[in-house]
Chain A
Amino acid sequence: MTTRLTDPGALARHREALVAAGEPSRDAIAVCGGTGCRAQGAMKVFEALQTEVEARGVDRRVNLRATGCHGFCERGPLLLLLPEGVLYQHVQVEDVPEIVEKTVVGGEAVERLFYVDPSTDLQHRKEEKIPFYRRQQRLVLRDNGHLDPTSIDDYIALGGYSALARALEMGPVAVLEEVKRAGLRGRGGGGFPAGVKWEVCRNAPGDLHYVVCNADEGDPGAFMDRSVLEGNPHSVLEGMTIGALAIGARKGHVYVRQEYPLAVQHLTHALEQSGEFGLLGEAILGSDLSFDVQVSRGGGAFVCGEESAMMASLEGCRGVPRRRPPYPAEHGLWGRPTNVNNVETWATVPHIVLRGADWFRSIGTEGSKGTKIFSLVGKVNNTGLVEVPMGISLREIVFGIGGGIPGGKAFKAVQTGGPSGGCLPAEKLDAPVDFDTLLAEGAMMGSGGMIVMDEDTCMVDMAKYFLRFLASESCGNCTSCREGLLRLHELLGDITEGRGTRDTIARVEEIADTVRAASMCALGTTAVNPVLSTLRYFRHEYLAHVDGDRCPAGVCKALISFIIDPELCNGCTLCALRCPQEAIAGEKKLPHTIEQELCIKCGVCKDVCRRDAVLVR
């Protein structure tokens, strides 16, 4: 049974009824249903919980809910007990009977599932006390771990769509002014002030204006937008609807990566629900605002994250960027004025409308207001999704929240901004994370991927990795990008394979300058950032490759060899059994040796050795 909400009062009454009925604040177990936890078996845990509470006849006592991503992927599958906020981590199906017996029936906690901080050995019962969460400021992600993303009632009960009601009361101009004054900058990478863009689009002449949500989150190592769409799709729709009001748009599009099927599913479901509730479609909440949203899937092209390429793709064409100006705000989708913002930006809008520009401006730095979500990944202990106030230091994120580098290894670099970004070394760890500082240091905010690298990461190999990626994702329109990136990839190949000289490095710098200067869109002009930033901060690693034929990190195959330490090897024969080349010889219980002529450096021996006797030289 659905309720069509015909005015803001009806929305408020519906919320009151939900809260009075105890939804969703009554005792609940929120199982993280984010992709990370799902991949670790979270949905099996969820189903086992359902079966168990039914079998025990206690299913009325607890509200079981699969939510969006809680962020702490490293410790998944995660279970959050509401309303207290007690966190169980690494929960497996085998733990379910005990959880139901002790927690649901007995009302006590299963202490062995609490998080133990490896650096202090302190056990934490509540989520908010865990350093990973304690140092964050969760705004956009606040409700992700609490609501069922397939339930519009959950969203409404937690205050959802009250920002839209407020916006309708304020009127378009006041909303626009509020967003402008808040200083909200686009979270997709460019950092352009959202309110200014909205205003240009609003003032552009035309019979039909569009708002578009860019959810083509293509940066490898980034999953912020995915988690928001999967975990709280209504927050994005609410933001877009407020934007449509302010801009005077009647149609909206969400362009989602095809690699995110769950996001498409949750968003499509949310769209249907909003339509039934009268929160999308004609006469929204009884006002004269009419707005429809359509979901489109991408085709797996990174360049479509660039807004003009994305619009070409939305029109059913090859995703080739267009020349700007004219900007999309004036001449966008099908030639109409179009305002494009990304998922996180749209999801931030309701918070600004509800709590005001002054509140939003109180978070962050002078030039970068509010919070930013990062996906903290790579060689870091606490992999996951974090939301922090702008201006926090990289050190606080990597070490305070991320818990530092695993295995006692040394920190080498943190890469921000995806393939267009840069790698910052240890000296820059105290730099504040905001749009302008990161840019000045040769990296960029980007959409929020933050990849930590340790001493075992080769920076030349890293630059080559990004070039390979970008060369294959270049749309091919500009010669400088299409050919330049291929040549750069070849030259870095020369360096990593021991054929490079100092001249090779000079040639790399020369071509990089040309690619940057002569390419049209943001993909081409920023594609050389990973090369230039590694040359800026890690030139010594390039020199070790070309001068000394040495890969200091032990990554570049042509420059390394695998050997077995006779002191450590106990002759267990495991490596010899697994070697695909039969390159390892030796008697049982005696040290083995690797025949270098036969070795293809696949590293299987190193993987399987239980005594760490295989060394890379």
Chain B
Amino acid sequence: MSEAPAVDPARVEVILAGYPQGDAGSLVNVLHDLQAELRYLPEQALRQAAAHLGLTPAQVFGVTTFYEGFHTSPRGEHTCTVCMGTACHVRGARRLLEQLERDTGVSVGGTTSDLSLTIEEVNCVGACALGPLVLIDGEYHGHMTADRLGRLVTEFLEDGKDE
């Protein structure tokens, strides 16, 4: 995996400034805001957050890795998420995920080596009527089939290369 560029500490400080110093209770919300800005949570940002909120780095890392929504390694520019909710499962979501892993050579949770695409699963996005469902950069693609997903991702990755 290629090295992610270093994060400017000032970008982190701007977000932290929105929360009172020593307000340990806002940690989860702080992590959300940091991740929205940085796309993942680099160690340096977590250390800054710890200092700001009056927590130890270990406490902050512990919370970060507890929740599935937080990522400590760089993410791809795009994300393809397969919904693994029960309704999607009974309509074949697992096969979709396997197809995606085969097509990209990346296993779930991983990112392609060129940092273009991250593959992940989600427990349920609550759009069960459309299952099985795949999200590409948050956009819903319902009633997915393995065949259509294969073509969709191929097109998607090729489009990315053209840019």
Binding site for B on A (CB under 8 A): 35-36, 38-40, 73-74, 76, 217-223, 226-227, 258-260, 296-302, 313-319, 334, 375, 377-379, 383-384, 415, 418, 449, 451, 453, 457, 462, 465-466, 469, 473, 475, 578, 580, 602-604, 607-608
Contacts and interface: CB of A to CB of B under 8 A. Distances in A.
A319 B86 contact: no
B87 interface: yes
A297 B87 contact: no
Contacts of A465: 86, 89
27 contacts: A35-B126, A36-B127, A36-B130, A39-B127, A217-B126, A220-B86, A220-B87, A220-B89, A223-B126, A259-B125, A260-B126, A297-B29, A297-B32, A299-B28, A299-B68, A300-B123, A314-B25, A316-B24, A316-B28, A377-B86, A377-B128, A451-B90, A466-B86, A580-B99, A603-B92, A607-B146, A607-B147
A453 B89 CA distance: 11
A378 B90 contact: yes
Nearest to B95: A603
A602 B86 contact: no
Interface string B47-77: 0000001000000001100111110000000
Given A220-B124, A378-B86, A383-B128, A603 B69 contact: no
A24 B53 CA distance: 46
A221 B124 contact: yes
A405 B29 CA distance: 42
Contacts of A453: 90
Contacts of A317: 27, 63
A291 to B, nearest CB: 19
B156 interface: no
B146 A259 contact: no
B67 A299 contact: yes
Given A35-B126, A221-B128, A259-B125, A299 B70 contact: yes
Given A39-B127, A220-B123, A223-B127, A379 B90 contact: yes
Contacts of A602: 95, 98-99, 102, 146
Which of A315, A317, A379 has most B Cβ within 10 Å? A317
Contacts of A298: 28, 67, 69
Interface string B141-163: 01001110010000000000000
A222 B127 contact: no
B124 A384 contact: no
A156 to B, nearest CB: 28
Given A296-B28, A607-B145, 14 more contacts: A35-B127, A36-B129, A73-B130, A259-B122, A259-B124, A260-B126, A300-B67, A300-B68, A301-B68, A302-B123, A316-B24, A334-B25, A378-B87, A379-B91
Contact of B102 (A219, A457, A580): A580
A221 B125 CA distance: 8
B129 A76 contact: yes
Contacts of B127: 35-36, 39, 73, 223
Interface string B110-123: 00000000000011
A392 B22 CA distance: 52
Contact of A316 (B27, B86, B90, B150): B27
A313 B25 CA distance: 8
Interface string B30-43: 01100000000000
A226 B122 CA distance: 16
Contacts of B130: 36, 39-40, 73
A578 B146 CA distance: 10
B150 A604 contact: yes
A313 to B, nearest CB: 6
Contacts of A314: 25
B95 A377 contact: no
A224 B97 CA distance: 26
Contacts of B63: 299, 316-318
Sorted from nearest, which 3 A-B pairs have the closest CB atoms?
A299-B67, A223-B126, A300-B69
A604 B99 contact: yes
A542 B39 CA distance: 44
A477 to B, nearest CB: 11
B126 to A, nearest CB: 3
B87 A451 contact: yes
Contacts of A607: 145-147
Nearest to B130: A39
A220 B102 CA distance: 25
B26 interface: yes
Contacts of B124: 218-223, 259
A491 B68 CA distance: 25
B84 interface: yes
A314 B63 CA distance: 12
A74 to B, nearest CB: 5
